[in-house]
Amino acid sequence: MRIALGCDHGGFPLKAKVAEVVKSCGHEIVDLGTDSSCSVDYPDYGLTGGLAIARREADRAILLCGSGIGISVAANKVPGVRAGVCHDTYSAHQGVEHDDMNVLCLGARIVGEALALEIVQSFLNARYTNEERHARRLAKLLEIERRANSGEWTQAS
């Protein structure tokens, strides 16, 4: 798979190790920066990661910030993105298997390196099952997204 990898300065300390694991699992990295510990704004990197998915420049993305929260909120604003913060291996594979999660977000200030790398592997090895109940729920998510983007909930009548 092509895996987009992006982070802000809070996630930067984990980035190189995550890239190593992604490559050692046989995947290609689409590097979205940032490339140093200099302070940057997580919405910029959440957006870039989300766009990599929306534009099909990557099959999945891994996004890192200090907590995982800000960058996941930003990425989830992009249509087609299903980003989740996972700080355990169960969520990282179940999120893909049941929810077709396509973006993994990690907080480099929350999880240690060893756990983070196991979480990354769980995410990469998981596949969406497409079982009937999961497909039904995914269709409902996509319908929420369609309606949100149509403006029907926000336009004045």
Question: Length of the chain in residues, anyone?
Answer: 157
104 counts as binding ligand RB5 under rule CB under 6 A: no
Minimum distance from residue 119 beta carbon to ligand RB5 (Å):
17
Amino acid found at 86: C
Known catalytic residue: 65?
yes
Catalytic residue among 9, 27, 65, 86: 65
| Positive or negative: CA dihedral 14, 19, 22, 25 | negative
- Using only the alpha carbons of the chain, give its radius of gyration: 15
Stretch that binds ligand RB5, among 15-23, 50-58, 62-70, 129-137 (CB under 6 A): 62-70
70 counts as binding ligand RB5 under rule CB under 6 A: yes
100 counts as binding ligand RB5 under rule CB under 6 A: no
Q: How many CB atoms lie within 10 A of CB 77?
A: 12
Q: 28 phi and psi, to 5 degrees?
A: -100, 140
Known catalytic residue: 98?
yes
* Positions in the binding site for ligand RB5 (CB under 6 A): 8, 10, 42, 65-67, 69-70
Q: Known catalytic residues?
A: 65, 98
